[in-house]
Structure 1
Amino acid sequence: MAVLYVTETLLYSCFSFLMGAFILQLIPSHKKPSILIRERWLYVAIAGIAVFAFTPVAVLIMELSKGTDLASITQLVIFSFTIGKAWAFTFAVAVFFALYLFTFPVLADKRFVIGALIFTIVLIFSISWSSHAASLTEWTGFLYHSVHFTAVSIWIGILIAAGWFAKDHSNWLSFLKWFSPVAVICFSFTIISGFFMMAVIMDVRDYISSWSLNYGQSLLIKHLLLLPILLFAFINSFSIKKRLQKQKEFDPRPWMKAESIVLLFIFVTTAFLGQQEPPHASSGSDYSPLFAYFYNGNIPMPTQFGWSSMSLLFSITAVLFFALCLWSYTKKAVGITFILSMLLVFSVYMALITGLH
């Protein structure tokens, strides 16, 4: 299963890289830093999508064939199962996408960037076709997943391109003027579509009780990782803008990198989440090992939240870590701020877990 988590994370990263690279190609040079993205990296990302999207298909084929009659089982999965048909379509689009890049100078002529973005979005739709949410509804789950995936890819894609591939930090104030509202819009669409997607997969009223399952644990951790995201978003969008107005030499790229790393952590939890049985498919006794660890096997049923002395203590600790994050930002300590933000997530997690009864 570990290979599924790794390849799924890499799959999301490939999509984000492509989205960020193409969107920044459309932005005038005076409204962005100098970005260096080589054409061969685009080919690698497209190939990565085709290969990494095949991993769950390959795992399913191996599970069904058990080492025998591999050819017929492969044909059955690819042409009869939704996950197989979705991958076949993904592979075909990826091939045409690569041919499009080979034929047209996408990185040299903005006229061809729109076509590249259309290919990227079609690939997102293809991946969403075989998602958890899409399998439970006729079209709403597919729509929610597509919107969710697209919004996140735009957001983190621009972060990755600007934070990791910028050669300098020139025009950063001009860059923030358009990127900050784009990030807010993407975050809003991510939250709204994520809520509706969760409502498709599970009863929202069972959110707390789902924490005893692997699915609920990964969903909770994914949601808690939004705390450092909001923290770094505030720093990168507002605080850095004020600092740049006073200090032209200030380099904001390390802070963008820190935010993109937290978003990559969200990709990891999403990859884990996508391979877990949702609450409606669980037997109810398949408890998360992480959850059971904190309760020594004595699972509180039904699971509900209520304040306890330990949860209050961890809540106070979380507030202190949040204050320390802001303090470390004033000291320009990116690494320390990142570590403190992770401790903030841990403290809030412990406050919630120790409050269950």
Structure 2
Amino acid sequence: MSVLIPLAEIGTYILFSIIIGHIALQFVPEGNKPRIGISKKVLLLSTLGIYIFSFGPVAQTISYFSESVGLTLATYSVLTDFQVGRAWIFIGFMSVFLWITLLLNGSKYLQALWLILMVLAIGYSSHVASLSFWYGLLAHSAHFVMVTLWSGILIHVAWFSDDQEKWAKFLRWFTPLAILSLIVILISGLTLMIFLVEPKDYVTSWVLPYGQMLLLKHISIIPLLFFAFINGVLSKRALKIPSFNPRPWIKGESIIILMVFTFTSVLGTLSPPHEVEFTVQSEGASRWVEWLLGKKILTVMNLHLIPNFSSLFLIAVSLLFLALILISFNKVKPYIAVFFGLSFVFALYFGLMVSLVSL
């Protein structure tokens, strides 16, 4: 179950991205986007998959309560009394309506309506919404829709388009949209994070599994920004070269997005530590962090971020990998730049982790 739930969350992000990218591109004139060749079967299966994969958080909640009250009662209670259960039922109805609309080639406005309602249901089922309804609903929905909108359009252009003649016109409107998406994602993401982990506890939360995934998610966004800069700015200049093909670099960006989705999905299955000190004392710190620090962590009161030679060396190496992403543009294959992006994430992660000192 611990493996299946994050996989289901990743599937939900990817399938939502495919659907929202398809619907969004319908509102773009044909002359301003590459020719997209996605089949109706893929869209219908994606819509069905959203309903199946979005059951993951429901299954996790049912599993948690089934040990104490039994599977039948736990299932009934979660589906009727919990926001996550009611949201899944609502998503089921909306996905059926969307499936029928796609099958019959219905109005793009109707497709957008069903999709917006499904996104709001995702926001309604979020952890923050269970603590503060309107705050969580709006912030999580905005965060989710902008992430899937940005990545969804990239997925379609990278993996389902078959030409590059209109690339300049595509970048002319997509680059401002990507910048807007990034701004909304950062603001809504920080808003959600502050509600779950206080800024003063951000570093100390790294000793917990939730803090680990939060750190990895934040670090993985950095190479994504570099790929976005390459595809949004440098690609415009490279288009003057007849042999330049932008699609492989867009595919590289989509792979980095998949890494961000992975960390986000695992993060969504973990309980946020509203009080880090209390969580460490009651549940204990991460065994991985304890092994890394070489001692058992009983409190975070004496935990500090103190750079040393090893940490500074790893951070310097991570910055080198980051620079190599830009240097490699149009000089090596994009998958090499993806490797540099992955290397940056783990070099910076270990650089920060070995800076943790428990005095």
Instruction: Determine the structure 1 residue equivalent to 2:133.
Output: 138
**CA drift at 1:235:** 0.6
Alignment of 1:188-337 (within 5 A): 188-244=183-239, 246-280=240-274, 283-285=279-281, 286-299=284-297, 301-337=301-337
Query: What SS class does the counterpart of residue 192 from structure 2 fall into?
Result: helix
Amino acid of the residue matched to residue 141 of structure 1? G
Asked if the contact 1:19–1:157 (Cα under 8 Å) also holds between the matched residues in 2, the reply is yes
Q: Which amino acid aligns with 2:288?
A: L
Larger CA deviation: 146-155 vs 27-36: 27-36
Structure 2 CA distance, aligned partners of 1:207 and 1:44? 40
CA contact (8 A) 1:148 1:190 kept: yes
What's the offset of the Cα at 1:279?
1.2
What is the TM-score with the length of structure 2 in the denominator? 0.92
Match of residue 19 from structure 1: 20
Deviations 1:316-356 (A, max 9, x none): 21222222222222413211111011111122112211222
| TM-score between both structures, scaled by the size of structure 1 | 0.93
Unaligned runs of 5+ in 1: 107-111
Which protein has greater RCO, CA pairs closer than 8 Å, 6+ apart? 1
Q: Deviations over 1:189-210 (max 9, x none)?
A: 0000000011111212111110
- CA shift, 1:301, in A, is 4.5
SS at match of 2:332: coil
Paired amino acid for 1:284: V
**Is contact 2:158-2:247 (8 Å) kept?**
yes
Structure 2 unaligned spans of 5+: none
Letter in 1 for 2:85: G
Match 1:180 to one of 167, 175, 187: 175
Alignment partner of 1:304: what SS?
strand
Q: Say if 2:94 is the partner of 1:98.
A: no
1:161 aligns with 2:156: yes
Q: Distance in 2 between matches of 1:90 and 1:344?
A: 37
Cα distance between partner residues in 1 of 2:42 and 2:68: 35
User: How has the CA–CA distance of structure 1 residues 258 and 293 changed in structure 2, closer, same or farther, with 3 Å as cutoff?
Assistant: farther
Question: How far 1:124 sits from its partner (Å)?
Answer: 1.0
What is the CA–CA distance in structure 1 between the aligned matches of 2:70 and 2:351, rounded to whole Å?
Answer: 51
1:89 and 1:119 mapped to 2: Cα distance? 11
Q: Which of 116, 131, 144 is the aligned partner of 1:149?
A: 144
Distance 1:289 1:35 in 2: 47
Contact 1:209 1:302 in 2 (8 A): no
Shift of 1:304: 2.5
Equivalents in 1 of 2:133, 2:12: separation in Å? 25
Counterpart contact for 2:223–2:322, Cα < 8 Å: no
Match of 1:124 among 119, 143, 153: 119
How far does residue 133 in structure 1 lie from its aligned partner after superposition? Answer: 1.3
Q: Distance in 1 between matches of 2:54 and 2:305?
A: 38
Q: Distance in 1 between matches of 2:59 and 2:266?
A: 17
In the TM superposition, residue 70 of structure 1 has moved relative to its aligned partner by 4.1
What amino acid is the match of 1:274?
Answer: G
**How far off its partner does 1:289 sit?**
3.1
Q: CA deviation at 1:99?
A: 2.2
In 2, Cα distance between equivalents of 1:61 and 1:330: 50
Which residue of structure 2 lines up, in the alignment, with residue 353 of structure 1?
Answer: 353
Compare 6-15 and 289-298 and name the one that shifted more: 289-298
C-alpha contact 1:132 1:201 (8 A) present in aligned 2: no
Deviation at 1:118, TM superposition (A): 1.9
Number of positions where the alignment pairs a residue of Structure 1 with one of Structure 2 = 350
The aligned amino acid for 1:204 is P
Distance 1:72 1:277, change over 3 A: closer
